[in-house]
Amino acid sequence: MYRIAVIGGDGIGPEIVAEGRKVLEAAADRFSFDIRWEEFDIGAERYLETGELLTEEDLKELSGFRAIYFGAVGDERVLPGVLEKGILLSLRFYFDQYINLRPVRLLEGVTTPLAGKSPRDIDFVVVRENTEDFYVGVGGRVRGRDRATHEIVRNLYNIRFGIDCESDADEMAYQIGIITREGAKRVITYACDLARRRRKKLTSVDKANVLTDMYGLWREVFSEVCGNYKDITTEFAFVDAVTMWFVKNPESFDVVVTPNMFGDIITDLGAMIQGGLGLAAGGNINPGGTSMFEPIHGSAPKYRGLNQANPMATIWAGSMLLDHIGETAAAEKVLAAIGRSIKDGVVTKDMGGMSRTSDVGDYIAALVKNM
């Protein structure tokens, strides 16, 4: 029996997670285990009513679950960043989910915008660091009168630009990224272990030619860790070049490991080449703690309640959740059922089909039971 916490969240979140649950229930039936679900009312609605994003109590309760199944947050009534940082990023940080695992895999029957590429060519995994880099939230805006509290930054700015921040018209903003040796080591180790179970190739994506301090340390750790994995082929790539190679030679990638922010960017590109955001799933993983699985697309408030959104990314994330808790046969069955649903043309509008959100969920759940 597994206790799974559910955070539907905003926009299309609740309806796509409902389909995911349907499919995971079917998998539980088929493979003889039980899931006990508990829903958490976390998201824009509660925030607007009570001002609460995540409470201490939420976090304490959530930590008692085997995993969290997450829909999406984001709402047009709330300023950008409030829900994203106050809920999604807070969960990732609180539970120290230092791996953001994002498979980029073109399933049979899905159209990729990359001409001449087939499922044989597009099958890699991005391991995005999930707790450091420019996501640590260290930053600020400085006006002249605040100079005392930001002395160091003010001095740097003055040296570089000759502006003294004396008057309030002089203003600057800064945001600092952090990479720690331990933070880099743990995610790179995870990526090496993953590469060992796959095609044994690992690419580090960074920008060590410009952000030499942070990504210099990252590269040093990469080389050290990979020294213990002689059976794996490794390479360094700059993030700008990688956006080219993802498009031109996706077949040359197996496992890609990258700091947080570049991981955010290149996985949206990855989503496109695997057939769109409707198919892109992710896991926020703490191998020794509470992990959380989600589609990587957002809350798409425009489509809320229309029964039109594509639930496949969420269902795929559900498959990753099953894999994570050790139900590997069930996980594989769910992924195979998604593939079959695509082959059978039971897909939503974004993938050129006529099916509704709940039709796709029903169909995949039935396949999981009977296929």
Rounded CA gap, 11 and 72, in Å?
A: 7
Cβ-based neighbour number of residue 207 at 10 Å:
17
Residue type at 77 in one-letter notation: R
Sign, Cα dihedral of 240, 245, 248, 254: negative
101 or 330, CB closer to ligand IPM?
A: 101
Strands (DSSP E) along 130-241, which ranges? 133-143, 171-178, 201-206, 233-238
Residue 133 within binding range of Mg ion, rule CB under 5 A = no
Q: Which of 98, 135, 157, 190 is catalytic?
A: 135
Residue 10 within binding range of Mg ion, rule CB under 5 A = no
CB of 264 to Mg ion, least distance (A): 4
- Residue 342 contact, options Mg ion, ligand IPM, none, Cβ 5-8 Å cut-off depending on partner type: none
263 or 275, CB closer to ligand IPM?
A: 263
Residue 359 within binding range of Mg ion, rule CB under 5 A = no
* Interacting residues with ligand IPM (CB under 6 A): 84, 88-89, 264, 296
Among 133, 264, 327, 359, binds Mg ion (CB under 5 A): 264
Chain centroid, CA 168 distance in Å: 39
CB of 349 to ligand IPM, least distance (A): 23
CB of 207 to Mg ion, least distance (A): 18
Contacts of 258 (CB under 8 A, 6+ apart): 126, 127, 128, 129, 204, 205, 206, 239, 266
294 or 327, CB closer to Mg ion?
A: 294
Shortest Cβ contact with Mg ion: which residue? 264
Active site (annotated) includes residue 170: no
CB of 296 to ligand IPM, least distance (A): 5
Q: Are strands 201-206 and 255-258 parallel, antiparallel or unpaired?
A: parallel
Active site (annotated) includes residue 264: yes
Q: 71, 314 in Cβ contact below 8 A?
A: yes
Calculate helix-pair angle for 357-370, 328-343, nearest 10 degrees: 120
Active site (annotated) includes residue 135: yes
Residue 129 within binding range of Mg ion, rule CB under 5 A = no
Q: Which of 41, 168, 213, 268 is catalytic?
A: 268
Active-site residues, by number, are 135, 207, 240, 264, 268
Binding site for Mg ion (CB under 5 A): 264
